[in-house]
Structure 1
Amino acid sequence: MRLLRWIIPVLLLGLAACGPTKKSVFPPAVNIQQLVVLPNGQWQLTMRIQNNSYASMKFTALDGQLQIAELVPVRLHKNFELDIPELAGDVVRIDVLPTTPMRQALQAIADKGSAGSLAYHVSGSATAKPEQESKPRSFDFNGNDWISAVPGIANTYR
């Protein structure tokens, strides 16, 4: 009888360990892959979302801000549906209306090609649902990088 009292809990713990393993989930990295100045003055941003998790995630929104140099930031917001596998990335396009100082800063490097660059900062949150979870959640992102004009392609920066 004593043996049964000891074996049953060990067997139950062993069965509990047979369940699926939970994959690690980490915040994504978000940056500008490309910026195109549209004829109407808006900027079309191709934003790269890098899923840094060991689980695929379904991304549904980005909400944040873009700051060029040390200028006043503008809002980034887009609702979408994008399934990104583990440790992979994909892109989403967001149109923004830049401020006049932002336009001037970009224009100042336009003729310099890849020799001219402009610092930017993106921050905010991405809404995503990891594959093993039932509800989406918010993941903060923060990124600093540089953009410069693409030689031979007018109004395009990377």
Structure 2
Amino acid sequence: MKPSYLVRFTLVLVSLVLLAACGGGKPVRRINPPALSVQQLSVQADGRWLIELRVQNFSTVAMRFDTLEAGLEIEGSNAGAIFLRPMLEIPGQSADVVEATLAPSHEAAAKLTEAARSGSIGYQLRGGIETGEPSKKFPLSQSSRLSPVPGRPNTYR
């Protein structure tokens, strides 16, 4: 038996509707707040800290990071301010690393030294992230912990 004209017409119509539903449109453009965290902190011979900061883009589109500004605290002690103008473009759902050098406060440096003996130390970044494309300002508040890296003196992750 051959399918009737009405059945064939219905199948074609359903196929076209399904094809149209699959097709189109542009990808959804979602702008989500980025994140900034300490990936690694190394104490240099002169006492300054070399800080590798991980910049995470949680948006679905590429973002250009123009300004990263944050105060760093170590166990509640102000370590100093970080101000960078990386002009760094990061694709959507990706991350990159930037470096900053900081001359820490005496109190924060002493607390970091204690971390080598105790195992880990808490830190907090507070400030803001400014992007140029798209043009937005995002508040920043990130808390986490750093631990000494085995076999690498004066290095924390």
Which TM class, normalised by the smaller chain length? 0.7 to 0.9
Corresponding residue for residue 74 of structure 1: 80
Q: 1:24 aligns with which of 17, 30, 35?
A: 30
Once residues 102 and 92 of structure 1 are traced to their aligned partners in structure 2, the CA distance between those partners, rounded to angstroms, is 22
Q: What percent of counterpart residues are identical?
A: 31
5+ residue gaps in structure 2? 1-23
Deviation at 1:72, TM superposition (A): 2.5
For residues 39-63 of structure 1, give each alpha carbon's deviation from its aligned partner in whole angstroms, at most 9, with x where no partner exists: 1111011000110111110112101
Corresponding residue for residue 151 of structure 2: 152
Once residues 78 and 99 of structure 2 are traced to their aligned partners in structure 1, the CA distance between those partners, rounded to angstroms, is 21
Corresponding residue for residue 138 of structure 2: 139
Large movers: runs of 4+ above 4 Å: 18-22
Coordinate RMSD, CA, aligned: 1.7
* SS across alignment from 1:80: coil
Once residues 148 and 88 of structure 1 are traced to their aligned partners in structure 2, the CA distance between those partners, rounded to angstroms, is 25
Q: Does 1:121 align with 2:124?
A: yes
For residues 67-92 of structure 1, give each alpha carbon's deviation from its aligned partner in whole angstroms, at most 9, with x where no partner exists: 11011342111111211110111010
Once residues 19 and 151 of structure 1 are traced to their aligned partners in structure 2, the CA distance between those partners, rounded to angstroms, is 51
In the TM superposition, 1:77-116 aligns within 5 A as 77-111=83-117, 116=119
Deviation at 1:137, TM superposition (A): 2.3
TM, length-normalised to structure 1 = 0.78
Corresponding residue for residue 51 of structure 1: 57
5+ residue gaps in structure 1? 1-17
Once residues 53 and 30 of structure 2 are traced to their aligned partners in structure 1, the CA distance between those partners, rounded to angstroms, is 24
Matched AA of 1:65: G
* SS across alignment from 2:84: strand
Cα distance change, pair 102–73 in 1 and its aligned pair in 2 (3 A) = closer
Once residues 108 and 21 of structure 1 are traced to their aligned partners in structure 2, the CA distance between those partners, rounded to angstroms, is 49
Structure number with bigger Rg: 2
TM, length-normalised to structure 2 = 0.79
Structure 1 stretch 21-30 or stretch 34-43: which is displaced more? 21-30
* Contact persistence 2:79–2:109 (CA under 8 A): no
